[in-house]
Structures are given as C-alpha cells and as structure tokens.
Structure 1
Amino acid sequence: MAKLTSETLHGLVKGSAVAALSLGLAAGAAFAQSGDRIVSGERYIPTIWVDPDGCEHWVMDDGVEGYMSPHVSRQGIPVCREANLCGVVNTDQHFATDSARIHASARDRLAQFFRDTQAISYTIVGHTDSRASDEYNMDLSLRRANSVAAVAASTGAQIADVRGYGERMPKASNNTAGGMAQNRRVEILCWR
C-alpha cells in the first residue's frame, strides 16, 4: 500500500476550497501546538479574526484553527488580503500637545471616515517626531493609535492591529518644524 504524504494529499485536492481548508487545518494544528491560541480558561472560544498581515483565521471550539481564505499559492500558502494606506490623521489637528485625547470635532470626522470607508478591517499605526525620549514617543504613539482605534470600534469597524512606532519611522526629516509636523501622524491601513 502506498504511503499517503502531505504532498500526495495536496495533489489530490489541489485547486479547490478543500485544499485551502485542509492546509488551514494543518497550519492551525501547528499553530495551536505552539501555544498561541484563543483560550478562555481551559475552553476555546470559537471566533474569526484578521491578523496584522491581512489573513482571515477561524478557530473552532475544539481548538482547531484554519484560514478562511480559499485562495492558496502553488506552494499551498494562503493568499491573504492586501492593505493600503487609506487615511492619515494629522495629530496636530486631532490631539493636544502630549495628549492622546481626540478633540470632539475630530472624533466626529474620524467616525464618519470609518463609516464611509467600509474596509474589512483596519490597522492603526501611530508615529511621533523626535523631540522626546524614545520610550515616551513609543508610548504616546501607541496611546494615540489606540484612541483612533477606539473611534473606529465605536462605529463597528473591525480592528486587526494597533501599533505605535514613536519616532522610529519618520516620513520626513526631524531637522525642520515642517518635517516634524509630518512625522506626528496616525496612519490608517485598510484591509480589503
């Protein structure tokens, strides 16, 4: 009797949604063995989520995880959604200096943006200029990104990830006032 290998199995179901599901189950089993799983106490919570790379996942109540996308590359790797930069929040206009609290009028405009954009999910990324310490800037950028994410969540938008990079990813030089103003921003990535 011939030995059934993963390559043979993949060849039998290649090109169909069953291939993606079986590959997702295998990947999910490996993922679950790594200890990175959704658990509440000793019970798995069935859920669906989009990871920061745009891949849609599901997990069943028995802990089996898989990819929701039926599309795979020729190597059997799931093809995930792509993100694009769909919005930039100028923090000088939306936040007071050294604050992560959004002005009321800016909150309304952001909420309308999230209602109108209708992406599958969003990644919110905060940035600062280089005037304070790295530690402070990392904290401030993350707090501001979380404030924008809270507005998004209030509209029912799905948040894939919230990140704060502080001064580490400047858009312009921090040697001029104009450059620093460009660096003080929260970027919104839309997953479609």
Structure 2
Amino acid sequence: MTLSTEGASAQQQYVFTEDGFTQGTVKNGKIARRTTIRAERYVPTIWIDPDGCEHWVMDDGFEGFMTPHVTRQGIPVCRRGNTCAVMNSDQLFATNQASINGANKKRLQEFFKSAGATAYAIEGHTDSRASDAHNLNLSQRRAQAVAQVARSVGARVVSTRGYGERVPKASNASTKGQAANRRVEIQCIR
C-alpha cells in the first residue's frame, strides 16, 4: 500500500510492507531521501498477576488492554502457588453463613502472623447442594471474610475468589465428598 502527502515543494511517500514501511521524500520527480523503518510483528502474550492468574495482553504501542484468561467454564486460569492452608468451611462458618466467630478469627490471625508469605490469594469453595449462583456468592463472601481477618493483622491479600461448586476436591455424591468440597484454600505467595 502506498500513501502520498504533498507539501509546497516536496512530496512524502510511504510504502507499507509486511515487515515495516519505507518513507521517502520526492523532489522534482526524484527520490531525495529514503528512510526504511522496520517494524516488529506484535504478538499478544500472557501476563501473570502477582497472585499467579493469567491475563491475555495486547499492546500495540498506543493502547494496551488485558482480559482475564478463563476456561470454558469461566474459571480464571491461575498458576498454583504454594497452597499453605486448606480449611474446612464447616469449621470456620455456620451453615449458609459467611461470618467467622471469635475463636476462629483468632486461629486465622495466628496462621497469617506465622505463615511468613509476602502475599496471599484466598479461594472459597462449596459443595453442590444449592444453586450455582448461590454457591458462587457464598464462596466469594467466605473468601472475603477470611481476607478481612488476614488484613486485620497486616497480611497482604492480592485476590479473593469464590469458585462455588465448580472446582470440587471430591465427589459430591457422598456426604464425605461434600464435606471435603466445603473449604477455603489459602495460597501463599513467597
């Protein structure tokens, strides 16, 4: 593709090719000056957040954007760090609740004071007995409750996520499996 712009006594000509473009100044029908500018083909890449989760990134030099990299089920793709704690939700929360009692707050505070991580990613999970929407909401509220306890002792929380019933640890066909799925996982980022 060729694009020309005319000035008072000279004409600028740009020839765009796949690997860049050539800029030339034409005076009196002759090329007076030619500059070839090589371009690099920009390939979208993946950005990894501090909590290990991936984002698609495109930046053409003028405008950049990121979108979360998710699976077909809508779950963010995250590189697992060190899962430093898995706590059964039944031990932290009453049934269908997202508030933590005083004794469990104290236990969580002690954990966050002694874990020694630079940051934490907190994930809430449920079994499959309620609706998907209800479970997503409940698991997110529970993750946020644990994050609030972490922040109360100065721990840095980089993300909280509620997965509901979408990432089971065991089969939901048995009560033992359902109990294993009702959990809060704490990822330690060191």
TM-score normalized by the length of structure 1: 0.60
Q: Which amino acid aligns with 2:64?
A: S
The CA deviation string for residues 21-44 of structure 1, in whole angstroms up to 9 with x for no partner, is xxxxxx9x87993367xxxxxxxx
Question: Which protein, 1 or 2, shows the higher relative CO under an 8 Å CA cutoff with sep ≥ 6?
Answer: 1
Whichever structure has more helix as a proportion of its residues is 1
Q: For the structure 1 residues 53 and 33, does the alpha-carbon distance in structure 2 shift closer, same or farther, using more than 3 Å as the test?
A: farther
Where structure 2 has 5 or more consecutive residues not aligned to the other structure, the ranges are 1-34, 41-56, 67-76
CA distance in 2, matches of 1:179, 1:161: 26
Q: For the structure 1 residues 152 and 131, does the alpha-carbon distance in structure 2 shift closer, same or farther, using more than 3 Å as the test?
A: same
- Do residues 33 (structure 1) and 63 (structure 2) align? yes
The CA deviation string for residues 129-174 of structure 1, in whole angstroms up to 9 with x for no partner, is 0000000000000000000000001110111110000000000010
Q: Which amino acid aligns with 2:98?
A: A
Alignment match of 2:180 (pick from 173, 179, 182)? 182
In the alignment of these two chains, the number of paired residues is: 130
- Do residues 130 (structure 1) and 160 (structure 2) align? no
Whichever structure has more strand as a proportion of its residues is 2
> Post-superposition shift, 1:88?
1.0
The alignment partner of 2:127 has SS state of coil
Q: Which amino acid aligns with 1:108?
A: K
Q: Which amino acid aligns with 2:81?
A: A
CA distance in 2, matches of 1:154, 1:90: 21
CA distance in 2, matches of 1:132, 1:116: 35
Q: For the structure 1 residues 83 and 145, does the alpha-carbon distance in structure 2 shift closer, same or farther, using more than 3 Å as the test?
A: same
TM-score normalized by the length of structure 2: 0.61
Q: Which amino acid aligns with 2:110?
A: Q
> Post-superposition shift, 1:103?
1.6
Alignment-derived partner of residue 97 in structure 1 = 95
CA distance in 1, matches of 2:165, 2:78: 22
The alignment partner of 1:156 has SS state of coil
Alignment-derived partner of residue 107 in structure 1 = 105
- Do residues 191 (structure 1) and 189 (structure 2) align? yes
